[in-house]
Structure formats: C-alpha cells, structure tokens
C-alpha cells in the first residue's frame, strides 16, 4: 500500500510528541530511532529524541509545536529518501496509535472539578445526559409507617422522633 510521506510525517510527528509525555516513552523512543537508521545514526537520534522530550516536558505550548515541526520535517525528509522507512513508520504508528486518523475523541481537562461541576469523558453518548441534583443523604418515609425512630430521617417540624 502506498503512503503519502507528507501525511505520514505529520501523523508521526503528532504521535511522537504526544508519546513524549507518556509512560511508554522508552519503547516509543526506540521505535522512532529505528525509523531514522541503524548504528551511530540511531544512537544520535536517541539523544536528540530525549533532548526534544525535555523541551516538551517544559509544558510550553509554543516550544512543543516547534519540536513537533522539527520532527515533522525530519520525518518527511527521511521518508522521501528511504521507502523502507515509510513501511517501518507506518507499522510503528499502527502499533502505538492505532486509533489515529479514525475520528477518535480526545478529551483534555485542566484544573479542578468542583462546585457541583460535571465532567463527562466519553466517545459516544446515546440517550442524552441528565443532571440530577444531589441533595444529601436522606430517607424517604412517605407512605411508610416505621415502628420506631428511623436513623437519618427528619420530620417537617424539625424533630427527629416519631410523633406519637
């Protein structure tokens, strides 16, 4: 199957930079280093990838985009010059990011969730979302006739004891 090197380089650079912040980085780093070559070239690439990761971990959006742009250009050059690298990168991306390009959902949340806020993370919701107000623990004794005190109940007049 034929892959457009420019499109594959774009996908590859996105996945590469995303993976720099995740726990599986060591495996991903090795995979991308293999795409760039063998021997000394691979060792040099490993060092460059690690330096790029340090920049991405600084959590500076502009710097992160710069890193991604640099690797996009390098990937595109590598893919144009080595047809085997195209197949290798495609296989690597299928392994570490099989959902890419398939309209997946990405949810990113920054900050706290408080003051009755609701955060829903889902790929697909059917039937709508209803918000129910939580009014604290209570026992609903409507229509019931307890034989004694009910723990947690309170009558309309504020007393906790059953009226005799």
Residue 121 inside a domain? The answer is no
CB distance 72 to 9 below 8 Å? yes
Least confident range from 33-37, 58-62, 69-73, 154-158: namely 154-158
Find tokens 């296989």 and name the residue. Answer: 91
Cβ proximity of 93 and 11 under 8 Å: yes
Kindly state whether residue 68 falls inside one of the protein's structural domains: yes
Q: Do residues 90 and 3 make contact, with C-beta atoms less than 8 angstroms apart?
A: yes
CA 117 to the chain's CA centroid: 21
Residue identified by tokens 């995303």 is: 18
Q: Tell whether 46 is covered by a domain.
A: yes
Residue 56: which of 64, 66, 45 has the closest Cα?
Answer: 64
Residue with the bigger pLDDT between 97 and 14: it is: 14
Given a cut of 90, whether residue 112 has pLDDT beyond it is no
- At 40, give phi and psi (nearest 5°): -65, -35
The residue whose two tokens read 């090197």 is: 5
Question: CA 89, CA 100: separation in Å to the nearest integer?
Answer: 13
Parent domain of 16: 5-96
Number of structural domains the chain divides into? 1
H runs (alpha helix) in 20-163: 25-36, 40-56, 61-81, 83-96
pLDDT bin (cut points 50, 70, 90) of residue 53 is very high
Q: Are 125 and 53 a contacting pair, CB within 8 Å?
A: no
With a cut of 70, say whether residue 88 has pLDDT above it. yes
The predicted model scores a pTM of 0.59
Counted residue by residue, the chain has a size of: 164
pLDDT at 33 over 70: yes
Is 113 part of any domain?
no
Predicted pLDDT at 27: 87
Kindly state whether residue 136 falls inside one of the protein's structural domains: no
Q: Which residue has the higher pLDDT, 66 or 5?
A: 66
Nearest-angstrom CA–CA distance, 129 and 107: 17
Domain annotation covers residue 147: no
138 within some domain: no
Residue 14 lies in a domain: yes
Q: Which burial class, exposed, middle or buried, applies to 46 when counting CB atoms under 10 A from its CB (0-12, 13-18, 19+)?
A: middle
């Amino acid at each position: 199957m034929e892959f457009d090197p420019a499109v594959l380089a774009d996908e590859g650079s996105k996945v590469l930079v995303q993976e720099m912040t995740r726990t599986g980085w060591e495996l991903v780093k090795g995979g991308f280093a293999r795409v760039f070559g063998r021997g000394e070239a691979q060792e040099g690439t490993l060092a460059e990838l690690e330096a790029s990761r340090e920049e991405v971990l600084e959590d500076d959006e502009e710097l992160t985009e710069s890193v991604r742009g640099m690797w996009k250009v390098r990937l595109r050059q590598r893919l144009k010059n080595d047809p085997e690298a195209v197949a290798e990168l495609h296989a690597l991306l299928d392994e570490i990011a099989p959902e890419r390009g398939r309209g997946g959902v990405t949810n990113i949340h920054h900050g706290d969730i408080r003051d009755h806020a609701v955060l829903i993370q889902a790929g697909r919701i059917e039937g709508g979302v209803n918000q129910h107000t939580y009014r604290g623990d209570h026992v609903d004794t409507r229509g019931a006739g307890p034989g004694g005190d009910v723990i947690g109940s309170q009558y309309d007049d504020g007393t906790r004891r059953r009226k005799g």
